[in-house]
Structure 1
Amino acid sequence: MILPLILLYVISLVYLAITERFRNFASIMALQGWLLFLVALVRLHAIHPAELAFIACETLLFKGVLVPALLFAVIRKTGISRVRTSGSSQFRSLLLSFAALVVSVSVTYLVADASADRLFFGVALYALLSGLVLIVMRTRIFSHMVGFLTIENGVFLFSTAIGVEMPLLINAAILLDILMSVLMLGLFFTKIDRTIHAIDADSLTRVKD
């Protein structure tokens, strides 16, 4: 049951690297939220029911429903639709994504020990690197936000890799972190769109008080 979910999650990370439409970004975030919800149910079934209920609700309602809804709302309000074609090519992003996958597998083989689940450790590391690739290779702030959320999902997978006692505390921090980030950037997008219409990170460096 776990392996198909993990494989689908890895495929979603590869797709994030090559897609150019922001609606696809938001849809992938929703898909990842549902996948993490199912992973939590299967992987953490042995923990206290109250902790499992909290993690399951946070993963499904927040990662799978609320965050994608906020991302779609930002897209509608700002009118952004896709990554600028003047940026890095899809082929280059795909190569970097596969390079990140190779690095993740190699590091997992060298570093992970018996106390950590190698499968979850490797996929979590790949999620972190995929988020960094999005942040570095894309110019749109929306892409940076998706990259940050991808990193947050990687942190969740790390928590499932190192044991069944850590996810409650880690998810509490993730919940607050993502909530503040999405709400602040949603407000930020709206204000920027009303004034200078700048949604590229490079454009913001030229903004003066």
Structure 2
Amino acid sequence: MILPLVILYVVSLVYLSITERFRNFASIMMLQGWLLFVIALLRLHAIAPLELGFIALETLLFKAIVVPAILFAVIRKTKINRVRTSGSSQFHALLLSLAALAVSISVTYCIADPTVDPVFFGVALYALLSGLVLIVLRSRLFSHMVGFLVIENGVFLFSTAIGVEMPFLINIAILLDILMSVLMLGVFFTKIDGKIHADDADSLTNVKD
């Protein structure tokens, strides 16, 4: 039951590397939020009300609803629709994504720790590398924000790979940090990018106080 969800999550990461529409970015983040919620739910040996509430808060409410809503709001406000790559084509982005997947599989195979779930560890590592690839290849700050969120999802999967017991304090800290980051970036886009329509991150150097 979990394996098809994990495969779908990997496919969403591959698609994220080649898509050029920001609405697709937001939709993929919503899909990943739902997948993480179901996966975390299925990984629990026993469902305690407190633990279930925290999982629902972090995955279902925040990752599947709040974050996509903020991303769609930023898209509507700034009217940014497509990615402008920085000297790289979709084919190159796909190659890098597949290379990251191969590296993740190789590292997971080399570790072979019985205390770590190899499937979730490999997918978590691939999510981290996918976020980095997204940040490096894409020039617009919106893509960087999505890449940061993909990395955070990878961190969540790492906690799933280590064990079914959720580290509450660490996850709460991550949740609050990402929430504040997304809100601040949303304000940044609505106040700055909406006025100067900065297409590239490099253009921010031209902004004068």
- TM-score tier, shorter chain, comes to over 0.9
**Residue of structure 1 in register with 2:136 after alignment:** 136
Task: Quote how far apart the aligned CAs of 1:86 are.
Answer: 6.0
Tell me if 1:183 matches 2:183. yes
Residue 145 of structure 1 is matched in structure 2 by: 145
Shift in Å, 1:49: 3.2
Over 3 Å counting, the alpha-carbon distance change for 1:108 and 1:13 in structure 2 is: same
Q: Identity percentage over the alignment?
A: 80
Matches within 5 A, 1:4-153: 4-46=4-46, 48-84=48-84, 87-153=87-153
- Contact kept? 2:86, 2:139, Cα under 8 Å: no
Residue identity matched to 2:36: L
Question: What is the count of residue pairs matched by the alignment?
Answer: 209
Distance 2:87 2:143 in 1: 12
Q: TM-score, normalised by structure 2?
A: 0.95
Q: In 1, Cα distance between the equivalents of 2:167 and 2:63?
A: 15
Q: Structure 1 stretches of 5 or more lacking a match?
A: none
Q: TM-score, normalised by structure 1?
A: 0.95
Query: Is residue 19–residue 25 contact of structure 1 (8 Å, CA) maintained in 2?
Result: yes
Q: Quick check: 1:156–1:167 contact (8 Å CA) kept in 2?
A: no
Match of 1:173 in 2: 173
Q: CA deviation at 1:51?
A: 1.4
With over 3 angstroms needed to count, the CA separation of the structure-2 counterparts of 1:66 and 1:45, relative to structure 1, is farther
Q: Deviations over 1:64-92 (max 9, x none)?
A: 01100000000000010001156410000
Runs of 4+ in 1 over 3 A off after TM superposition: none
Query: Structure 1 residues 96 and 124, CA, compared in 2 at 3 Å: closer, same or farther?
Result: same
Decide whether aligned partners of structure 1 residues 58 and 85 sit closer, same or farther in structure 2, where only a CA change above 3 A counts: closer
CA distance in 2 between counterparts of 1:192 and 1:63 reads: 25
Point out the more displaced range, 127-136 or 85-94.
85-94
* Residue identity in the other structure for 1:30: M
Q: Quote how far apart the aligned CAs of 1:169 are.
A: 2.7
Secondary structure of 2:208's aligned partner: coil
Report which stretch shifted further, 5-14 or 110-119.
110-119
Mapped contact 1:83–1:138 kept (Cα < 8 A):
yes
Contact 1:156-1:170 at 8 Å conserved across structures: no
Distance 2:83 2:110 in 1: 36
Distance 1:54 1:186 in 2: 25
CA RMSD between the two structures: 1.4
Deviates more, 1:173-182 or 1:188-197: 188-197
Q: Decide whether aligned partners of structure 1 residues 59 and 205 sit closer, same or farther in structure 2, where only a CA change above 3 A counts.
A: same
Instruction: Indicate conservation of the 8 Å contact 1:9/1:35, yes or no.
Output: yes
Question: CA deviation digits over 1:100-142, x for unaligned, max 9?
Answer: 0000000111124011100000000000000000000000000
Partner Cα distance (1:63, 1:16) in 2: 16
Q: Secondary structure at the match of 2:206?
A: coil
